[in-house]
Amino acid sequence: MKTFFKNDGRPPISLVVLFLFFLFLQALSAGENPAVFRILLTGCEGGKGFVQTGFRAQWNGQEGVITALHGVAGCRRCSAAQGGEKDGIYLDDLALVAVDIDRDIAFLASRKLQDIPGQPLKGTGYDLSRDQLQVVGYPDGVLIQRASPVSYHIDPLVGLGVWHQEVRKMCEQRRSPNCGIKVLLVRGDPLIPGHSGAPLLNQNGQIVGVADGGLKGGLALLNWIIPYKDIQLSSVSYAGNANALHSLRQMNLYDLFAAPSSMDPSRFYGGEGATISGQIFYGGYGSPPIGLLSNYSKAKAIIRLMEVETRKEVPVDFDYDPNTGNYTIYNVPSGKYTPFVKVESGYPFHKTSGGDFISYLSGLNEDIVVAPHDKNIYRGLHVVHSIHLKKPVDNQKERTFTQDPPEVLYKGPIYPSASVFEWDPVPGATAYQVRILLMDGASNTRIDEKDFNISGTSISPGLAANYGNTYYMFLVSAYYGSGWDKLIGHFSNYYKDGFGGWFIFKVVEYSAVSEVFLEAERLNGFSPHVAVDNCSEGGQYLGWINNGDWVRYDNIDFGSNGMSSFSARVSSGEKGGVIRIRLNAPDGEVAGSCTVPSTGGWQNWTTINCALYKRISGTNNLFLTFEGEGLYLLNINWMRFSN
């Protein structure tokens, strides 16, 4: 820098001229509105100075500037600059004379404005379907006036305190603005810190609203505008206003409500989206990670981003190198996101209970804030192994319950207690902690609790059947190392109405079994040739079956009265074959046989029925063996035993 200055520390005249010419060109290109001012706030709570926006207005015959009250209330000195620079028109005699505390609006009178050419902005209503709207102001870190189109980002009027819990908390605590007022919502990045008090103008230059604030300092991208026609100013000398202002001055409203960004001003220029890059680590939920994901699995990773406020997924382009653990996400728009990762099956991420990928908890990663025109963000992402339950497997049809918890465990004459919980082992885990809660659904209070600390991957909790509006909650956590302070991850729900890793269920009394229905692909063992594929009738089927192949289904309860018939949904594009029903071994006693004919195509399905040779009862491991001629014999979609 010293090479640009003279010996006395002053910059050369040529550099000054070039700089002023640059500012002049910027001002011309921006088409600055002379009625919009940059508000300079000093002597504020916390010892900081802030910048926001205001505009020329009139109240009770007085000339002045309207701006947002939350910046003015906690600051001792307030001034305004037209064009944003002191060498332009500068107002240093501003005085707070009127407020609308319910709408967070301040009117600052100035005698100097009477001698300055120009007129106050005229207010009007709005038509969101026709108006071309833009907010004109001084975003944080920008020295010149900027107009930002917002027509496509505005939602109709809504009560301020009803659309987001954080907004309600804010307005209930500060009471300015009031939770009950109506506002226009703005989604996206047109409003950012520094826009507080900025006018929203239509295509005719009339003011239709005042930018007021936003969540998380504007970076949550949920912001609001006060309709101009609703503003009701009254003198600060009124008793109600005076008391409210005294209370507001004790708060650091700017930090709490619309805190300015600490970002470098250069980050607000140019660019369509940010690039997020880094490495993906495995483990370390609440503790240091075990290592790079690439050290544990060479499988592909699928990266997604979810908007924190709207809870909607944002499609993104990304790259992931399974050999290095490096990832890159491209063209991320400004916003606040929770990243989450899915990893396809691959050793040691092998899930024996079905499915073709392992999902990881999104809550493991801190939210990523992408400010307007951010270029590059580096962030390490963490993933943990989801702990999937292996039993019970005969209730998979309950996976999409929407109201009542699924009835997944049974108690009765056959089982001395509720069924065993078993889950897939987690790579690196040396111990598991299991917690089971019995909850009262009406009061959402805990009735009973059971805790288990074990090194294995199953428990027999001995749960009683629960009735009425009660339910069980189950959580298993995986740890590594010598203590219980290094957490790898939590159980990941099968059920879409579960939350926070908890698995919700009921225990019901055992009743007489009238039939047993099995999806063919829900098997526990099989010979090498057998495989699963997508079925034309929905779901999946079992196929690629050769002569001599077998499949196994564990712990099938045929009931105390037993089953006497067998049916199955099958297909064959060749000659078909024979299904043998056996118990407890692939060469065990044959309980029944069914012939599968040719159906003329591998996706031409038919149902076969046959009587068993003997009634089968109790709990058994079921084996199906296959016989026939040719390379492939048949497919199976589902099977049913009945009495």
Cα separation of 602 and 165, whole Å?
Answer: 54
pLDDT at 446 exceeding the cut of 80 = yes
Cα 483–chain centre separation: 32
Six-digit token string for 570 = 């099958």
pLDDT at 14 exceeding the cut of 80 = no
- Residue whose C-alpha is closest to residue 282's, from 429, 477, 116: 429
> Identity (one letter) of the amino acid at 530?
V
- Whether the CB-CB separation of 626 and 550 falls below 8 Å is answered with yes
Percentage of residues of the chain with pLDDT beyond 70: 72
If one counts every other C-beta atom within 10 angstroms of the C-beta of residue 257, the result is 25
Angle made by CA atoms 223, 77, 138, in degrees to the nearest 5: 35
Secondary structure letter of residue 293 according to DSSP: G
Query: Is the link from the previous residue into 11 a cis peptide, with omega within 30 of 0?
Result: no
Secondary structure letter of residue 21 according to DSSP: H
Cα separation of 300 and 277, whole Å?
Answer: 16
Q: What is the pLDDT of residues 180-193, one digit of tens each?
A: 888 887 765 567 77
β-bridge partners, 183: 158
The pLDDT value recorded for residue 100 is 93
The pLDDT value recorded for residue 408 is 61
Buried b vs exposed e over 420-447: b needs ≥16 C-beta within 10 Å?
Answer: ebbbbebbbbebbbbebbbbeeeeeeee
* Residue listed under structure tokens 């564990």: 554
Distances (CA, A) of 365 to 161, 215, 495: 29, 21, 22
The pLDDT value recorded for residue 550 is 95
- Residue whose C-alpha is closest to residue 254's, from 408, 473, 444, 73: 73
The domains found in the chain, sorted by start residue, are 1-27 (no CATH), 31-269 (2.40.10.120), 274-381 (2.60.40), 389-509 (2.60.40), 515-642 (2.60.120.260)
Q: What is the pairing mode between strands 222-227 and 234-235?
A: unpaired
> Any idea which of 69-73, 215-219, 383-387, 566-570 has the lowest mean pLDDT?
215-219
Mean pLDDT over 359-371 rounds to 64
Percentage of residues of the chain with pLDDT beyond 90: 22
Q: What is the DSSP string of 66-110?
A: EEEHHHHTTEEEEEEEETTSTTS-EE---EEEEEEGGGTEEEEE-
